[in-house]
Amino acid sequence: MAAWPSLDSEQQQETLEELTSTVLAALPARWQQLAIEYRQVGTHIDVRTGLTGEDGETEVWNPPTEAWHRFQDLRGGMYREGEGTWFGARYVLDAEERFSIQYTERQPAFREPLGEHDVAAEQHDFPRDDAHMPDWYRHALTPTAAA
C-alpha cells in the first residue's frame, strides 16, 4: 500500500515550485530551457535531461539530487487508491522561470528493460484495480503474480 501523503492540487503546485527553485539555484549562466523526462515503474527509474543554452545547443545536465526527490514526492502524492499514479512526467522550465509539466500513464520508454519484479514493486507501492491496469502492466504483472 502507498505510504505517501496525498497531495491536493495546491500542494502539488507547491512541490513543483520547490522543484523549480531547486533547479534554478543550480543552473549555469546563460541557459534558455531545461527539459527533464522522468520515468518510473517500481524501483526502475529512467531520467533524461536536456539543457539548452543561448547558442541553441542542448546538452545533458545533472540537477541536484533534491530535484529527483520532488519528482518522487509528486508521484507518490498523486497516487489515487485503486487507480495508481503516473509513470512518466515531462517538466520544462524556460529562462523566464515559467514551467510546465505533463504526466503520462503510458508505458514508459526506458533505455533498459524493466526487471521482472519492477511492476510487482509498483503494484505493491501503488496498487491498481484491474480496471486501471494498462495491458502492458497487467501482462508484466501476471508472470510475477504466478511465481
Q: What is the CATH number of the domain that holds 133?
A: 3.30.500.20
Reported pTM: 0.91
Question: In the chain, how many domains are there?
Answer: 1
Q: Is residue 1 part of a domain?
A: no
SS (H, E, C) 27-59: CCCCEEEEEEEEEEECCEEEEEEEEEECCCCEE
Q: Is residue 4 part of a domain?
A: no
**Predicted local confidence at residue 146, as pLDDT:** 45
Q: Which of 91, 89, 93, 92 is nearest to 104 (CA)?
A: 89
**Predicted local confidence at residue 143, as pLDDT:** 61
Q: Is residue 3 part of a domain?
A: no
Q: Is residue 2 part of a domain?
A: no
Q: Is residue 79 part of a domain?
A: yes
**Predicted local confidence at residue 147, as pLDDT:** 46
* pLDDT-above-70 percentage for the chain: 95
Structural domain boundaries, residue 37: 9-146
Which segments in the chain show pLDDT lower than 70?
A: 1-3, 143-147
Q: Is residue 125 part of a domain?
A: yes
Q: Is residue 76 part of a domain?
A: yes
